[in-house]
Structure 1
Amino acid sequence: MMSAPVSSLDRARALLAEHPVVDGHNDLPWALREQVRYDLDRRDIAHDQAAHLHTDLPRLRAGLVGAQFWSVYVPCSLTGDSAVSACLEQIDAVRALAARYPDDIQLAFTADDMEKARSQGRIASLMGAEGGHAIDESLATLRALHRLGVRYMTLTHNDSLAWADSATDDPRADGLSRFGEEVVREMNRLGMLVDLSHVAATTMRDALRVTEAPVLFSHSSARAVCAHPRNIPDDVLAALPGNGGVAMATFVPKFVRIEAAEWWEGASAHMEKHGFELFDSTEEAVRVREAYTEEHPAPRVTASDVADHLDHMREVAGIDHLGVGGDYDGMPFGPDDLADVSGYPNLVAELLDRHWSESDLAKLTWHNAVRVLRDAESVARRLQKDRGPSIATLAQLDA
């Protein structure tokens, strides 16, 4: 009697059981802050929180996530000491999650920690600071964040800084200023990955020129596939093999399909008219957004659209330089079949149907992300032998 053929989805789950997903960006900490002010009793992620969140432990397990970079994000509306304090509160929230769910979540600070957590069946939990405004132009604050466990920093969020330009704002620094270059060098010395999601293409190119360590794009896709400024131009993708960096394709619909980007502009204007941002996750904001969506259905986006980006990124950058960064709980909703963190097997199944090899998929889901952190650690050990902490300031370098 012949056995039934194994489906692509079954094959995907079997592959992910051995080579689980490292996701580059998840905004659960900020969603917990916005919704319940970090009251984990009110949003106990040990149980299904689908009514409120994209992320909880049952769905992380269903999605076969083996490591997560939690975003310790603060909005650009917070500046100075307020931004620093909010970032510290975000870090505290990630540590609180690890303390509350020790059988599932293991704090990780190194590539070896990631591998150890995987071997123990836990989700390796790392942190990435989203937006260089969180250091308030202070390299000492940058070092403090690293000591607290932050392992990447996105140089900007949506607004340009005095020392780095954002993809979605007018330029202020013509890419990276001299102080911005010093931030990159100090991150290299610390072993903190330079995250180039959100930054302008000029900033990407400057960072690639300055950095001595591999860079990261924690949640960005291909501009040639969807012409959104948040995506990565082909010349930058083509530079990744020489740098060793990794670009982690995102699932945010407006970065995946241009039709979705056009819809999001209208939805954002509607939300702003009611006093909200599109990403707001309060109950009232969700009600306003859902009412708009009911009257103006969003264009359909699926795992196939995400796979189109990954096909292109593999062609330009090569398989050794790809990963995934969903941006869950940092977007109102994801693609139809990637609606929450349980959906990763659907993407892997789509790529299997496109004849991606299992060895290539293992690089995409696990090995590339672990390798890029390990390489950054190696560069840091070398640099720390030659130079100490930088005491440079913005005023000194960019006067």
Structure 2
Amino acid sequence: MPVDRSLHTHAVVADTHNDLLMAVSARPPHLWASFFRDRWLPQLSEGGVDVQVLPVFVESQFRPEGALRQTLRMIECAHVLAEGNPDAVALCRDGQEIDEALALGRIALVLALESMPGIDESVELVPTLHRLGVRVASIAHWGRTALADGSGQDGTGSRLTSHGVEALREMERLGIVFDVSHLGATGVAHVLEIATRPVIATHSAARALRDHHRNLTDEQLRGVAAGGGVICVNFLAAFLTEDAGAATLDHLVDHIEHVAEVAGVDHVGLGPDFMREVNEDLTPPCCEGFSYSGIDANAAIPGLEGPRGLPMVTEALLKRGFSEEETVKVLGSNVMRLFRAELGRPGS
């Protein structure tokens, strides 16, 4: 049965995690704008994406010595691809700029940091990155950083370091939304204990349905929601079900439904993490069985390998019993509420 795109088309669709900057910045700089326009823009448009968060993720070969240089290179790539496609996208620093971009029919791009390997203990550089347009950030990935431990280090039971607490405070002061995805369990608890502004999980599924350290427990889901934050559900098959190769759209909707039941439907969003598409751009042809930190990063829900498949999610939510109003919230209005209130707005 063909997907009914009417609701999807009229809703604001926000994707809070697509690593496409990794793929675009891997090209020579003079190709950044055209490669984005030819390879990624059609997918975003066909998928109905209105707001796209662009994480800056620095791969291990650049760490530690080249981490800051690669961070700056990827940020520059985001600016160049936006400036090279002004009819189609706009790099936005606050909710008003997002609304202005959407009114003009452009996709609003929001810069994010996935971990901060380029910062290390130099928290005084957080304002520098804010000046460059960064508006969402996490402080750890799988392993240990100078700021916190990632979820792969849950056994340490570590809270944020003193520099991590300082980074959180700087982000709250500047209006950079703190991202708890990838943060270790004790670190998440620490953030929820001391945060004074809402946080986001840009790409995290429900641990109650798939017991993986990258997913959030019900207690964590409730904690994010209690502070006014949003949990954006990861589409990556390995985080939805133990048998990643057998993941289906129903598995994804199970996670969305669970987060909505536990945290409330006003606190759910979409954080797809289309790894297969990015991997295809980085290592053409895509390597079958590509493994990343012990997971099959190429396993995807059929039809949801990339942004083009997003209308399937809308249809699946409606079939599951979500009302049109609830579906619109999940697709993007919850994220937009958070971004309008917090993005780029200085704190006290």
Same fold (TM over 0.5): yes
Question: Superposition pairs for residues 8-19 of structure 1, below 5 Å?
Answer: 9-10=3-4, 13-19=5-11
Root mean square deviation of aligned Cα: 2.0
SS in 2 for 1:70: strand
Residues 171-229 of structure 1 show CA distances to partners (whole Å, capped at 9, x for unaligned) of: 66712122211211111111001101111111111011111111011111101111110
Query: In structure 1, what is the equivalent of residue 318 of structure 2?
Result: 352
CA contact (8 A) 1:69 1:126 kept: yes
Quick one: distance in 2 between partners of 1:161 and 1:203?
Answer: 12
Evaluate the alpha carbon distance shift between residue 363 and residue 77 of structure 1 in structure 2; reply closer, same or farther with a 3 A threshold: same
Question: Superposition pairs for residues 41-56 of structure 1, below 5 Å?
Answer: 44-47=35-38, 49=39, 56=40
Query: In structure 2, what is the equivalent of residue 95 of structure 1?
Result: 79
Q: CA deviation at 1:38?
A: 4.3
Quick one: distance in 1 between partners of 2:339 and 2:9?
Answer: 22
Count, aligned residues: 328
Quick one: distance in 2 between partners of 1:41 and 1:140?
Answer: 30
Query: In structure 2, what is the equivalent of residue 251 of structure 1?
Result: 235
Opposite residue 45 of structure 1, the aligned amino acid is F
Evaluate the alpha carbon distance shift between residue 75 and residue 65 of structure 1 in structure 2; reply closer, same or farther with a 3 A threshold: same
CA contact (8 A) 1:83 1:136 kept: no
Query: In structure 2, what is the equivalent of residue 286 of structure 1?
Result: none
CA contact (8 A) 1:26 1:69 kept: yes
Query: In structure 2, what is the equivalent of residue 305 of structure 1?
Result: 251
CA contact (8 A) 1:24 1:324 kept: yes
CA contact (8 A) 2:175 2:347 kept: no
Question: Superposition pairs for residues 156-167 of structure 1, below 5 Å?
Answer: 156-167=140-151
TM-score (norm 1): 0.78
Percent identity at matched positions? Answer: 33
Opposite residue 376 of structure 1, the aligned amino acid is E
Opposite residue 61 of structure 1, the aligned amino acid is S
Matched, 1:340 2:334: no
SS in 2 for 1:169: helix
Question: Superposition pairs for residues 105-254 of structure 1, below 5 Å?
Answer: 105-169=89-153, 174-254=158-238
Quick one: distance in 2 between partners of 1:38 and 1:336?
Answer: 33
CA contact (8 A) 1:250 1:324 kept: yes
Matched, 1:59 2:43: yes
CA contact (8 A) 1:22 1:366 kept: yes
Evaluate the alpha carbon distance shift between residue 76 and residue 209 of structure 1 in structure 2; reply closer, same or farther with a 3 A threshold: farther
SS in 1 for 2:17: strand
Opposite residue 132 of structure 1, the aligned amino acid is M
Question: Superposition pairs for residues 350-389 of structure 1, below 5 Å?
Answer: 350-377=316-343, 380-383=345-348
CA contact (8 A) 1:84 1:136 kept: no
Opposite residue 87 of structure 1, the aligned amino acid is T
Matched, 1:31 2:23: yes
Evaluate the alpha carbon distance shift between residue 99 and residue 351 of structure 1 in structure 2; reply closer, same or farther with a 3 A threshold: same
CA contact (8 A) 2:120 2:145 kept: no
Q: CA deviation at 1:80?
A: 4.6
Query: In structure 1, what is the equivalent of residue 260 of structure 2?
Result: 314
Quick one: distance in 2 between partners of 1:173 and 1:44?
Answer: 43
Quick one: distance in 2 between partners of 1:193 and 1:240?
Answer: 12
Evaluate the alpha carbon distance shift between residue 210 and residue 167 of structure 1 in structure 2; reply closer, same or farther with a 3 A threshold: same
Quick one: distance in 1 between partners of 2:134 and 2:146?
Answer: 22
Q: CA deviation at 1:8?
A: 7.7
Q: CA deviation at 1:85?
A: 1.1
Query: In structure 1, what is the equivalent of residue 13 of structure 2?
Result: 21
Opposite residue 324 of structure 2, the aligned amino acid is E
Opposite residue 354 of structure 1, the aligned amino acid is R
Quick one: distance in 2 between partners of 1:376 and 1:244?
Answer: 11
Evaluate the alpha carbon distance shift between residue 222 and residue 111 of structure 1 in structure 2; reply closer, same or farther with a 3 A threshold: same
CA contact (8 A) 2:93 2:343 kept: no
Evaluate the alpha carbon distance shift between residue 40 and residue 334 of structure 1 in structure 2; reply closer, same or farther with a 3 A threshold: farther
SS in 2 for 1:102: coil
Evaluate the alpha carbon distance shift between residue 171 and residue 142 of structure 1 in structure 2; reply closer, same or farther with a 3 A threshold: farther
Quick one: distance in 2 between partners of 1:162 and 1:81?
Answer: 14
CA contact (8 A) 1:76 1:133 kept: no
Q: CA deviation at 1:82?
A: 1.7
Evaluate the alpha carbon distance shift between residue 163 and residue 45 of structure 1 in structure 2; reply closer, same or farther with a 3 A threshold: closer
Evaluate the alpha carbon distance shift between residue 42 and residue 57 of structure 1 in structure 2; reply closer, same or farther with a 3 A threshold: closer
Q: CA deviation at 1:169?
A: 2.9
CA contact (8 A) 1:213 1:375 kept: no
Quick one: distance in 1 between partners of 2:117 and 2:33?
Answer: 30
